[in-house]
Amino acid sequence: MPRGVITLATDFGLRDPWVGTMKGVILSVTRDVHLVDLTHEIAPHDVLEGALALETAVPFFPEGTIHLAVVDPGVGGARRALVVAWGECCFVGPDNGLFTPFLLAPGWRAFELTAAEYRRPEVSRTFHGRDVFAPAAAYLALGVFPERFGAEVTDPVVLPWPAPRAVPGGLAGEVVHVDRFGNLITSIPAGDVEAAAAVVVGGRELPLVGAYAEIGRGAAAGLVGSSRRLEIAVREGSAAAALGIGRGAPVEVRTRSSSTKK
């Protein structure tokens, strides 16, 4: 039975052979692994979207999982290649902010991927996913300790992380992601929605509900989604299309005392 789990998250899509090639490199080092495709549909070059995807999915994987993530517009340049040990799991990928949600938490250690014995003999300047990151993930699965890969890194890149701010009568945030259903995922976490009565987005005040089934067909409402963030949804439709807004749009939650029905 395979002993390890390696997830793969990229912006490569599935039309080209790049994801399969990375898997081939991993399996050339060890076949004793489960390979899990987390997603390969991150928008091209969108590091923030990749970081949000990892934030949503990582807590649901077993201890010891290795998360291989490649959204790497700076490949071949000065950016470092990293392994990040966080809790009982590891992350492998570019040092460009992709691992921000975990670097903001305590207890991480990061190391630069420089040891030649843990990469392919020839390293392309355009495909580090194949030549640097995939072999590193495979060797981690074999039990190589993170500190064996290179020097410790104490200053990995951290993205400005979207968070809500207090405003009169509630909290203000923004749309940080639009999922494939057109739901608007916001920067406002679930805990900040508990005392709210309504959400304002695109100039409209919408009710807050507990589930998609509580929204009238074609109507819009706010709810806490499975990512544990406030999201705006349209029942059997696209909130992004119906409201005409996307990432970066302002969102506000209003407390029960300040909300007025419209």
Residue 260 lies in a domain: no
Q: 114 is in which domain, residue-wise? A: 4-153
43/103 same-domain check: yes
Q: Is residue 160 included in any domain, yes or no?
A: no
| 191 and 95 assigned to the same domain | no
Task: Answer yes or no: do 142 and 15 share one domain.
Answer: yes
DSSP β-ladder status, 66-70 and 89-94: parallel
Residue at 172 is within a domain: yes
Domain boundary at 127, 153, 179, which?
A: 153
Query: Is 159 inside a domain boundary?
Result: no
Residue 255: predicted pLDDT? 81
Q: How many angstroms separate the Cα of 80 from the Cα of each of 134, 151, 203?
A: 15, 11, 43
Please tell me whether residues 189 and 115 are part of one structural domain.
Answer: no
pLDDT in tens, 159-201: 999 999 999 989 999 999 999 999 999 999 998 888 788 999 9
Pick the last residue of a domain from 123, 153, 183: 153
Task: Please tell me whether residues 190 and 105 are part of one structural domain.
Answer: no
86/82 Cα distance (integer angstroms)? 12
- On whether residue 92 sits in a domain, the answer given is yes
- Where does a domain end: 153, 181, 197? 153
Structural domain total, the chain: 2
Q: 99 CB contacts (<8 Å, ≥6 apart)?
A: 51, 54, 69, 82, 84, 86, 91, 93, 156
CATH (domain of 169): 2.40.30.90
Q: Are residues 199 and 236 in the same domain?
A: yes
Residue with tokens 């290795």: 66
Q: What is the pLDDT of residues 25-40, one digit of tens each?
A: 999 999 999 999 999 9
- Residue range 222-236: mean pLDDT, rounded: 95
Q: Are residues 169 and 149 in the same domain?
A: no
**pTM across the whole model:** 0.92
pLDDT-derived band at 261 (thresholds 50, 70, 90) equals very low
Say which CATH number the domain at 115 has: 3.40.50.10790
